[in-house]
Amino acid sequence: MLAHCTLWPEELAAHYRAQGYWRGETFSDVLDERIQRYGEKLAIVSDTRRWTYQDLGAEVERLAAGFYALGIGPNDRVVVQLPNCAELFSVIFALFRLGALPIFALPAHRKFEIGHFCQHAQAIAYVIADQHAGFDYRNLAREVKASAPSLQHVLVLGEPGEYRSLKHLPRLESDLPPPPRPADVAFLQLSGGSTGTPKLIPRTHDDYLYSIRASADICQLTSDSVYLSVIPAGHNFTLSSPGSLGTLYAGGTVVMCAHPSPDVALTLIAQERVTITALVPPLVPVWLDAIESLKPDLRSLKVLQVGGARFNSEMARRVTQELDVTLQQVFGMAEGLVNYTRLDDPIDVILHSQGRPISPDDEIRIVDEEDQPVAAGEIGHLQTRGPYTIHGYYKAEEHNARAFTRDGFYRTGDMVRQTPEGNLVVEGRAKDQINRGGEKISAEEVEHQLLAHANVIDCAIVAMPDAYLGEKSCAFVIRKNDTVRGIDLIRFLRECGLATYKIPDRIEFMTQFPQTGVGKTSKKHLRLEIEARLAGARMNP
Ligand code: AMP
Ligand code: DBH
C-alpha cells in the first residue's frame, strides 16, 4: 500500500462494500472484461488511431511489459502529461496493471508544476508527447530533469530526441508483477488547490470505479454511447464524470478531440455520431455561435454537460432553446463528490441548480464559520464525506488537518445552498482560489512566486469579473520603487515556469493594502477595488 495516504476508516469502508459501491474490481479487471465482451467494438478514436477494445488491450499489454522491463513497478509514481490522444489510455491502463501510479498533469503545466509533482511524489518516470499545440515537451523534460533527481525515464509519444520512444520499449524477460488490489491507490489526481503548492489526490480502484459506474448510470451511457473528450482528458471531469473512463466502462466509444476549437469538435460530433460531451462554461457561447454559423449535423448529440465553474442560468437557457439536447449541469471536484442534474429533471432544476450527489451515501453538511449547520435553504460552507471522497491528500499531513474535519468530512471551500428537493446551488467560494473558466488557480501559489521578485514588497491575488471566463486573476502589488512595471512581473512569472493560465491577467499597483479587523490583507476589499477600477476604466476609456 502506498505510504503517506489517509484512506477510509475501516467501518466506512465496510459499509461501502456492503452497499455494493465498492465491488472489489480493479481497472485491469474491468478492461479485461470489456475486451472479452466488446473485443471488436471501437473503443477509442483519435487523430491517428481507431482502436477496438482488442487493440487497446494489446497496446496496454505491450506497454505494461515494456514499462516493467524498464523498472517501473508497483507503487512507482509516473507523471503523465499527454494531449487528448488514444495513447493516454494505453499508458494509464498499463500503469494501472502494474500497480504504478499515474499523476495526471495537464498539458498546460510547465516546469514549476511538473517539477513539483516529480519532487513531491518522487516520480521515477515522465510520459510526454514530443510536441503539441506549438510547444515542445522534450524541452520541458530537460528542465524538469535538472530539478528532479528521482526521475529515471522520460518516455515520449512521437519523436523522442534524446529520450525513449513509447514505441521502442525493452522486451520483458520475466512475468508481470501480481496485479494491484482493489483497495489500493490507483493514481494521483490533481487538486486546483488553494495552498502554496498543488496537492495530489489519492484515488483507489474501488472508489473511482464506483464514481464512474454510478456516473455512467446517471448519464444513461450504454455500449452505443459515443463520448467526445474536448477539455483535457486527464481532468477529473472529462476522465470520470462519466467521461472517457465511464464510457469505456459502459463499452462505448471515446473520441479524443486534440484541439478544443469548436469547428474541430463540431466536425467530430457529426463524423463520429457523438452522443455526449462535456464543456466548461466559457466554451458554451463560443459553441453556440459556431453552431449557428456552421450548422453542423448534431442529430446524434443527446446530452451536453456543463461544469467546472459557475454556469449562468441565461446561458443555460440559451442552450436549451437553441439546441435539441438535454443539458446537464455538473458540479464536481477531483477530491471526490460529484453532483449532477438528472436527465429527466424539470427544466427549472436544470437551469438553476448544479444538481445532487451521485450516491445515497454522499453525506452533505452545510455549515457556518463555526462548523454548525445553517438553517435549511441558507447559504453555508459545503462539507462532504462519502464512498468516493478522499479523507486526505497525499503527503500533506498538516494541510489535511485543516482541509478535513475530525470526523472525516472534506471542507470543499464552496459556499452552497440546498433546495427543498435536495439540489445544490453553488453561491460562491470561501477558498483562496480563482476559477478562471474552470481552470483553478491557487492565489497563494502565485503570490509565493511573485514575492520572490526583488522589487515586490507584498502582493495579493484576487478574482476579477470577466464577461467571457467568468473570472480572471488580478495581482495587487506593493513595489519597492516604480522601476518595475507590470510587464516585468509577468515576464518574471513566466520565467518561473508557471502554467500560462496562472499568470495574472492584470497587475495593479498600490502603496498599501486594505486590512481586515485583525490586520490581514482584505481580499474582499481588493475584489471591490478591482471591480471599481474596471468600472472606472469603462466609464473613462
Ligand atoms: P478541484 O478541487 O480542483 O477539482 O476543483 C473543484 C472545484 O471547482 C469545486 O470545489 C468548485 O469550486 C468548482 N466547480 C466545479 N464545478 C462547478 C460548477 N458546476 N459550478 C461552480 N463551481 C464548480
Ligand atoms: O471542476 C472540477 O474539478 C470538476 C467538475 C465537474 C470535477 O472534478 C468533476 C466534474 O468530476
Per the CB < 8 A criterion, the answer to whether 405 and 384 are in contact is no
Cα gap 380→415, rounded to integer Å: 5
Mutate-to-test residue for ligand 1 from 106, 215, 304, 435, highest number of ligand atoms within 8 A of CB: 435
Q: For residue 333, give the ligand 2 atom closest to its CA.
A: 8
For CA atoms 264, 269, 272, 278, the dihedral sign is positive
Cα gap 328→350, rounded to integer Å: 6
DSSP string, 104-126: E--TT--HHHHHHHHHHHT-SEE
Per the CB < 8 A criterion, the answer to whether 190 and 394 are in contact is no
Burial call 214-236: b when 16+ CB within 10 Å, e when fewer: bbbebbbbeeebbbbbbbbbbbb
Q: pLDDT value at position 541?
A: 63
- Which class for 106: exposed (0-12), middle (13-18), buried (19 or more C-beta within 10 A)? middle
Q: pLDDT value at position 66?
A: 98
**335-365 residue pLDDT tens:** 999 999 999 999 999 999 999 999 999 999 9
Residues contacting ligand 1 via CB (< 6 Å): 191-192, 236, 307-311, 329-335, 354, 412, 414, 426, 429, 435, 440
CA atoms within 13 A on the CB side of 294: 18
Radius of gyration of the chain (CA): 23
Per the CB < 8 A criterion, the answer to whether 79 and 106 are in contact is no
Task: Tell me how far the alpha carbon of residue 117 lies from the centroid of ligand 1, in angstroms.
Answer: 21
Q: Name the residue with the closest Cα to ligand 2, atom 4.
A: 332
CA atoms within 13 A on the CB side of 87: 20
Q: How far is the CA of 181 from the CAs of 61, 75, 185, 204, in angstroms?
A: 18, 12, 9, 9
Q: What are residue 133's DSSP bridge partners? A: none
Q: Does 3.40.50.1010 match the CATH number of domain 26-40+52-181?
A: no
Query: Could you state, in order of their start, the residue ranges of all structural domains in the chain?
Result: 26-40+52-181, 433-534
Q: Name the residue with the closest Cα to ligand 1, atom 7.
A: 333
Q: pLDDT value at position 510?
A: 97
Averaged over successive runs of 10 residues, the pLDDT of the chain (541 residues) comes to 89 98 98 98 96 98 98 98 98 98 97 97 98 97 96 98 97 95 98 89 98 98 98 97 98 95 96 98 97 97 98 97 98 98 98 98 98 98 98 96 97 98 97 96 97 97 96 98 96 96 98 93 96 85 63
Per the CB < 8 A criterion, the answer to whether 478 and 510 are in contact is yes
Return the ligand number nearest the Cα of 433.
1
Return the ligand number nearest the Cα of 279.
2
Task: Tell me how far the alpha carbon of residue 335 lies from the centroid of ligand 1, in angstroms.
Answer: 10
The most distant pair of C-alpha atoms in the chain lies apart, rounded to whole Å, by 73
For CA atoms 391, 394, 395, 401, the dihedral sign is negative
Give, rounded to a whole angstrom, the gap between the first and last alpha carbons of the chain: 60
Instruction: Please name the helix (run of DSSP H) or strand (run of DSSP E) that holds residue 337, with its range, or none.
Output: strand 336-340
Percentage above 70 pLDDT, the chain: 99
3-class SS string, 60-85: HHHHHHHHHHHCCCCCCEEEEECCCC
Per the CB < 8 A criterion, the answer to whether 77 and 103 are in contact is yes
Phi, psi for 528 (deg, rounded to 5): -65, -40
Q: For residue 438, give the ligand 2 atom closest to its CA.
A: 1
Nearest Cα residue to 394 out of 455, 335, 314: 335
Q: pLDDT value at position 93?
A: 98
DSSP E strands in 178-301: the ranges are 185-190, 200-204, 226-229, 253-256, 276-279
Cα gap 247→225, rounded to integer Å: 7
Q: For residue 211, give the ligand 2 atom closest to its CA.
A: 11
Task: Tell me how far the alpha carbon of residue 332 lies from the centroid of ligand 2, in angstroms.
Answer: 4
Q: How many residues does the chain have?
A: 541
Q: Cα–Cα–Cα angle for 367, 439, 269, nearest 5°?
A: 115
Per the CB < 8 A criterion, the answer to whether 108 and 501 are in contact is yes
Q: Name the residue with the closest Cα to ligand 2, atom 3.
A: 333
CA atoms within 13 A on the CB side of 435: 20
Per the CB < 8 A criterion, the answer to whether 287 and 262 are in contact is yes
Q: How far is the CA of 336 from the CAs of 201, 266, 272, in angstroms?
A: 9, 30, 31
Interstrand relation of 164-165 and 153-157 (parallel, antiparallel or unpaired): parallel
Fold annotation for 433-534: GMP Synthetase; Chain A, domain 3 (3.30.300)
